[in-house]
Structure 1
Amino acid sequence: MSQENHAPTSRSKPPPPGEEDAAKLKLGEFQDVDTLTLSEASLVINALIAKRRKDAKGRPINETDVLIKTLEYLDAFARFKQKENVEAVERLLSAHKELTKFERAQIGSLCCDSADECKTLVPSIADKISDEDLQELLDEMAKLMST
């Protein structure tokens, strides 16, 4: 009994539809939409809940499972807890007009240690900001995390 070499019967799997090259930031209809860092989202949602509780005057408010899980997520991953620090980070990020709103929000949420790490996680910024400028931004943000 001889074994014949057969051509493979399968082919490589095509990429999923809509998959984009991360270095080319294409957000479709969300391209120019304002974005928030996780810390900003936490401030907004907590302020809204505080207002609802105040307006309810002791009556229970409807806090859904999704809202509770969202708050838990933001509490775990929002890097800046103090309102003043969140605002300071926003000012630092907003000064970099060469970056899109989405890129600034990603940088503000990820809080990378190095420019190299940041450019790996947010590849669309690779040619938009120098390593030195990015490292300076990350260092300034790190100072705000520790206060």
Structure 2
Amino acid sequence: MALRRGRIQEEDASQLKLGPDFNEAGCLSISEVKLLLEQRAKATDTAVYKKTQEYVNQFARFNSTDSAQAARQILSKDTDLKQFEAAQLASLCPEEAEEAKSLIPRRVDCVAALPSS
């Protein structure tokens, strides 16, 4: 919950209410995070870094820069899709529009066009 001008505001990702800290933040898919971490692999060697790298290695759907960029490009064509929703869809890679709509409750039309990993 975020406190704003005396009222409590509920955070709810399904309604794109992510809290004030995230109002202007950019969103990355798990695959994009994986690719960024690979570029910085030698620069950081902390426990948090290693755990994060293990997580993204396990769950990244796109393992090349080209496929991650293609997914982002396809999802950015839908102007109704917010950046957070596009990152979620690129990370979850639902196979059918109905599955996407159940995961991301707003209008979703471009899921079938995502490249395969």
Give the TM-score taking structure 1 as reference length: 0.66
More strand by share: 2
The Cα offsets for residues 79-115 of structure 1, whole Å up to 9 and x where unpaired, read as: 0001110111111111112111101101110101111
User: Where does the alignment leave 5 or more consecutive residues of structure 2 unmatched?
Assistant: 1-7
Q: Which residue of 2 aligns with 1:98?
A: 80
Q: Which has the larger radius of gyration?
A: 1
Q: How many residues align?
A: 109
Work out the CA distance in 2 between the residues paired with 1:22 and 1:87.
24
Partner of 1:77: 59
Tell me which residue corresponds to 1:138: 111
Greater relative contact order (CA < 8 Å, ≥ 6 in sequence):
1
Quote the RMSD (CA, aligned, Å).
2.0
* Correspondence list, 1:39-78, <5 A: 39-50=31-42, 52=43, 63-78=45-60
Q: Which residue of 2 aligns with 1:32?
A: 24
- Post-superposition CA distance 1:52-102 (Å, at most 9, x none): 3xxxxxxxxx51111111101000000000111011111111111211110
Q: Secondary structure at the match of 1:144?
A: coil
**Ranges in structure 1 where 5+ consecutive residues have no aligned partner:** 1-16, 53-61
**Offset at 1:21?**
5.2
Runs of 4+ in 1 over 3 A off after TM superposition: 17-23
How far residue 31 of structure 1 moved from its aligned partner, in angstroms, is 2.5
How high is the TM-score relative to the length of structure 2?
0.81
